[in-house]
Structure 1
Amino acid sequence: MKTYVVGGAVRDALLGLPVQDHDHVVVGATPDEMIARGFTPVGKDFPVFLHPKTHEEYALARTERKTAPGYKGFLFHAEPDVTLEQDLVRRDLTINAMAQGEDGVIVDPFGGRKDLQARVFRHVSQAFAEDPVRILRVARFAARFTDFSLAPETNALMRRMVDAGEVDALVPERVWQELSRGLMESKPSRMFEVLRGCGALERILPELDALWGVPQPEQHHPEIDTGVHVMMVIDYAAQRQYSLPIRWAALVHDLGKGTTPKEEWPKHHGHEARSVRLVEQVCKRLKIPNDCRDLAVMTAREHGNVARALELRPNTIVTLLERCDAFRKPQRFIDMLLASECDHRGRAGFADRAFPQAAHLETALGAAQSVNAGEIARRYLEQPQHIPEAIHAARVAAVNEIINKEMPRA
């Protein structure tokens, strides 16, 4: 029985990066032997065990055989006669197909170290084509390792997988798991660059894929192309280390521009309403978590209003706050302002431009929150139908005062 550290731990150590988790492969053992040594079985599809002290995962070396479309259609063989190389050849990329023995020696049968030095993502074998999740994983790695390139032969293989319909077999939960992880990497745009390059984005997120090649008014968007703009927006959100809901909202805020009739280009009148419908459609299909969905819908609907905030009257601002449920959920409203700021700064030459609209609306929210709604309600106990109108009017007055006093218009 021999144990090896495998995969990402070996890769990251060679890159000089911090190693978060250690995955282990065990060669020459049976499940009964593992249990006898105090390991706890946890694997459902194939034998995986938790170390009795460290609780790290130890998987028996295994081979796989494709039996059905998608990423679940496999039969696994995990017996003592399975070699380390047989286990590694089934892995996705050469840089993830290295192992380190207990003696510290690195086993690298497929040139992983060479590809690390060359900064290349390359598939290990044709077995890559049997699991469509690997397309998403490679795209996610591209967002993390921003100086790596994709080997042409690997991109070609991924495109053949897309053409064969493998990506269509992915379940929504797994798609979102990989997309959400990629969005939280340092340069999310590279994930979508890889997905577009092999044709997978058109299958997974056709609403987003439709944005490339759609022009916008050059005076507002020097980058012109809507797809390019959205990539700049999410990279800015990543640069600011914003949360996943903000990054998701930044990604899908302009989906409606992909449905603008060509004869109306480069203008996109009414794209916000179309964006809302598309965001709701995407979130339902991919089973997006509620916090991400709700912020994305609000951002798609309101980012244009936020951009015009300095021109809005106090009554319109309070109506905006009420529509966004900002008094019950102020942080979500602030997050929407941040996503809208990403929209503003995610343009060629705009990254350092001022965006006073966010502070303007945040100050207005604070003024409106200072209104004692309970006290107003008590004044209208005998006329409760007038309570909402009275509270609204008081909030408008408070916003008007703060705008005139602290933020005079230019």
Structure 2
Amino acid sequence: MKQTYLVGGAVRDKQLGYPFHERDWVVVGATPETMQAEGFRQVGKDFPVFLHPTSGEEYALARTERKTAPGYGGFVFHTDPSITLEDDLIRRDLTINAMAETPEGTLVDPYGGQDDLRNKILRHVSSAFSEDPVRILRVARFAARYHHLGFHVAEETLSLMTDIVASGEASHLVAERVWKEMERALGEQSPDVFIRTLRDCNALAVIMPEIDDLFGVPQPPQHHPEIDTGEHALLSLCAARSMTTDSSCLFAALVHDLGKAATPSADWPKHHGHEALSLPLIEQFCRRLAVPKQHRELALAVARDHTNCHRAFELKASTVLQLLQRLDAFRRPEKLDQFLLCCQADARGRTGFEETDYPQAAYLKSAYLKCMDIQAKDVTAEGVKGKAIGERLAQKRIAAIKQLKQATI
């Protein structure tokens, strides 16, 4: 007999009293033909998933899976009407994700998910957890999502994650899937926990070695009381997250100092020239994980010019104009706002400086607005023509920035 159950995140978050926006369903005792006969539209290629004819919600036939090859895609799925709800739930990653609910609202919890919710534990359902390396990322993301509620990863689950990494399975992760999980994790309430969890199971060194390399690299304690560069990266990420959920900004805040890991150890704790050293590392990171263009461009801009932003009041007016031009601020003002937020996050991403003022942002924004008050038409009105228009426009904007600086400092 066909039976339908609400499953996954909606059940979990309903039990937690946590907001959720999507609902997924499992159908037991049905076939693709019976689903299609009821008006459902099949969309799954690897296994039968159907869209409800009116709600558009996803309904999946109960299924089992068998590992056949390394990596995320190395599975063969099987579905037929004899597969039970318990058979389907046991293949899921965590006990808190292996609960279901009947249409009448009765909870079905064969693997102790409710107890783990109550005890705030992220625990794997079965040994099948180790067959899918993506689950390392998912557990780290859930740890970031629920950390503020007191959740932690069970010791046995963290041990299993460590074993997965040691087996080499993490090396088979598909770049796009890694980025998808990372981007979602960056927007969670405690995004630093995502990175820390990956590091705890040794996955960070495999998946994101550029970030892992930052840990253990010292910085000058007078400027960075946290000393460790990896800790500074995570503090900067958290500072950015307190101001935005824009994943471009969050990614840039996390990777802005990658070049400090490339500083010769003989020069530690100083990091002269780390800005330029960061650029190829960011490019490498973004290529490997297929990071979107807008994220890469902002990360490069922040890495290249965050020190100039911190020194904004010391810069010549002409240098301020060049900075605004490099940021493409006159065509893309939103990029300037993102850049300034990231630089503020960098300044606040230091132990004891979490609430520090950052007047440089207001100054550079004012400089941009002063420049925008002067347009090419104002120059042509003076009779200037040809190539001289750009030169004269720059001169007038530099003069406006000089005047602003005198009034500000």
Name the TM tier (shorter chain): over 0.9
Q: Are the counterparts in 1 of residues 275 and 305 from structure 2 also a CA contact under 8 Å?
A: yes
1:172-211 to 2 correspondences below 5 Å: 172-211=175-214
After the TM superposition, which of the residue ranges 3-12 and 317-326 deviates more from structure 2?
317-326
Structure 2 SS opposite 1:137? helix
Q: Tell me the residue number matched to 1:397.
A: 399
Secondary structure in 1 aligned to 2:218? Answer: coil
Q: Does 1:338 align with 2:341?
A: yes
| Partner in structure 2 of residue 217 of structure 1 | 220
| Matched ranges for 1:316-335 at <5 A | 316-335=319-338
What corresponds to 1:291 in structure 2?
294
User: C-alpha distance in 2, partners of 1:38/1:372?
Assistant: 59
Task: Tell me, in whole angstroms, the C-alpha distance in 1 between the residues paired with 2:373 and 2:403.
Answer: 12
Task: Give 3-state SS (helix, strand or coil) of 1:43's partner.
Answer: coil
Deviations 1:139-183 (A, max 9, x none): 111111012111111111111111111111111111110000000
Report the count of equivalent residues: 405
Q: What's the secondary structure of 2:5's corresponding residue?
A: strand
Look up the equivalent residue of 2:122 and give its one-letter code: F
Distance 2:380 2:217 in 1: 50
The equivalent of 2:368 in structure 1 is: 365
User: Matched residues in 2 for 1:86 and 1:52: separation?
Assistant: 27
SS of 1:320 mapped into structure 2: helix
Following superposition, the deviation at residue 38 of structure 1 comes to 1.8
CA contact (8 A) 2:313 2:405 kept: no
Q: In structure 1, how many angstroms separate the alpha carbons of the residues matched to 2:186 and 2:231? A: 16
How far is the alpha carbon of 1:391 from its aligned partner? 1.9
- Work out whether 1:228 is the aligned partner of 2:231: yes
Q: Let me know the Cα RMSD of the aligned residues.
A: 1.2
- Tell me, in whole angstroms, the C-alpha distance in 1 between the residues paired with 2:104 and 2:264: 64
- Mapped partners of 2:370, 2:160: distance in 1: 58
Normalization by structure 1: what TM-score?
A: 0.96
Q: What is aligned with 2:125?
A: 124
Which amino acid is the alignment partner of residue 256 of structure 2?
H
- CA distance 1:170–1:33, shift in 2 (3 Å): same
1:68 matched to which residue of 2? Answer: 69
**1:318-348 deviation digits (Å, cap 9, x = unpaired):** 1211222221112101210110000001111
Q: Percent identity?
A: 53
Matched, 1:136 2:127: no
Q: Is the 8 A contact 2:376 2:390 kept in 1?
A: no
Secondary structure of the structure 1 residue equivalent to 2:66: strand
Separation in 2, partners of 1:397, 1:377: 17
CA contact (8 A) 2:259 2:277 kept: yes
The alpha-carbon deviation at position 377 of structure 1 amounts to 4.9
Q: Secondary structure at the match of 1:58?
A: strand
Secondary structure, counterpart of 1:76 in structure 2:
strand
Could you say which residue in structure 2 is the equivalent of 1:276? Answer: 279
1:308 pairs, out of 302, 311, 314, with 311
| 8 Å contact from structure 2 (residues 248, 294) kept in 1 | yes
Using the alignment, how far apart are the partners of 2:71 and 2:59 within structure 1? 25
Residues 342-357 of structure 1: pairs in structure 2 closer than 5 A: 342-357=345-360
Q: Counterpart in 2 of 1:6?
A: 7
Q: How does 1:16-27 map to 2 (within 5 A)?
A: 16-27=17-28
Distance 2:342 2:19 in 1: 30
Instruction: State whether structure 2 residue 30 is matched by structure 1 residue 29.
Output: yes
Q: 1:375 offset after TM fit, Å?
A: 3.6
Q: Give 1:316 deviation, angstroms.
A: 1.4
